[in-house]
Structure 1
Amino acid sequence: MKKLGLFILACTFGLTVMAQNSASRITFKETSFDYGLINEDDGVAYHSFEFTNTGTTPLIIHRVATSCGCTTPEWPRQPIAPGKSGSIKVGYNPAGRPGPFAKTITVYNNSATPTVVLHIKGKVKPHVKTIEEIYRTPVGDMIKFDKIHFALGRIYLGKTYTDTIKFLNVSSNPVVVKANTQGLNFLQVKTVPEKVKPKQIGSLVLTYNPDKRGDWGFVVDRFVLSVNDKAINRSPITITASIEEDFSKLSAKELENAPRVEFNTNHYDFGTVKQGDPVKYDFIMKNSGKSDLIIRKIKASCGCTTATPSQKVLKPGESTKISASFRTSGYSGRQGKTITVITNDPKNPTMILRLTGTVEKPN
């Protein structure tokens, strides 16, 4: 009986070896390719991965999958006879994809290795924009800007900030561009050069003084231009900034003695209310620090929400109420409103309070 078992095992092993030896086998010359540096403007870049069926039965490639839509494969749809060769042509589209890339191509087949992963990599040299592509935003009929927004980001009191945006004179005559900043004494705008020749580039140079702005947190300002003394009122230039206090120079002792803002909660869920019913809640604000806490600004996310503090300066240990209300008329469904509180707490100068809940329409 034991000899019979060994005989059956030997026969089974032999049949397995014969099956493996008689299977198709896909053998690639290479499984990775480096495109090197290719230009974004040159269109799809191709490479062919060549392979041979080194098995003894026909090779069938079931499908080829890529790791992204930017890579497209082509492969033989007919069986590859033993000893015959074929190739998988891979195309990489660099359009809109500047910088390094690395992609995979997975080959599913009926060979002894049913999945084979191919790799491609390279680097795409970005498209160089033409002057017409850069200057696409018209202000009037004679000039076009690369952008009409000065995004200053975070700016601090005690400093002056400058920024520049550029424009192209697309007309056939010289232009003189001036900024109307009347009422905006915290900023100055200078045009360089004062007169811009046809097809030449000019600059608007902004100087912004946050101390003179007299505000805190996120602010938006706008001014209009005139071109050759003709006012262009429909295309204002926008300035955005977040005005903050600079606490970076405070000493360790000053930080230890600074005010500290605390709230009983920063989120009130009002549950479900009927449309038109007001939502009210008193956030309790406390100064747990060692010096006076000053409320610089309170701003709601929309005109439907208000927040009023009972006092704006808190001595150490004092508390106050910030009475928040949300007028639900005209609103329905899930709602979320925010109230931004800006103080002189160096660790938490900006706190966000939230009102959330659901407003039901009347039946």
Structure 2
Amino acid sequence: MKHFASLFIAVLLSLGARAQGVITFEKDMHDFGSVPEGTMATHEFKFKNTGNQPVVIANVQASCGCTTPDWTKTPVMPGKFGIVKAMYSSAGRPGVFNKTVTVTSNATVPSVVLSIKGDVVNKEQAKASMTPAQLAQSPRLVLDRTAHDFGKIESGQQPVAKFTVKNPGKQPLELGMITSACNCVGYKSVPPVIKPGQSATVELLYAQRQTGQMSDVATLSSNDLNGDVKITLKANIVRDLNNSSMVKESSATVPFK
């Protein structure tokens, strides 16, 4: 009887040891090929949980700051799929790149390394090497306007300007980095891909810390080989919006009428 009990416990322990999630990636390396400088090269590595317990990804660590990872945050049940997204910023990084992201989870193999590689090509060089027919297939970035005036705003506020981006080109449009001399313009929201013939809304955050009449130019990059687009953001920034709307009558301070 004791022998049967010991055998039963051993079987349970054996089954428990085999009860674990298994991450199975469709592939562990992606080659972007030629990437126009300024674009955000993005790839989703898809995986399936081929084990018998839920898989939870604890962390995804990139090998450099130029690669931004994202991943499925919820538990991936047995037989279901999840993704690990790798995004490489090519702005100011011409040449060949080869980067990795390390996936840490509770799966049978707790650490998996994924690789991305490609060659960032200067837009002018890429454009010069293409035939007119190839260039005609390029995605296009067209804005509904190239300037926005916030009017009078209070110092410390970070207003948002919405722009409509249309892609009348033949290939999907991928927006890249947005840069400015003031380092005060960034994305609040940006669509990852805009399909040919479609439009999307891009929200820009303006975080100018100086006061006075400001006018800042931001450069929006993309995989449009025809060039980048410049956007001008203007504002009259005051220290205190309430005080700026007051005048003195005799000894009393009253608002404008």
| Larger Rg belongs to | 1
TM-score w.r.t. length of structure 1: 0.32
TM-score w.r.t. length of structure 2: 0.44
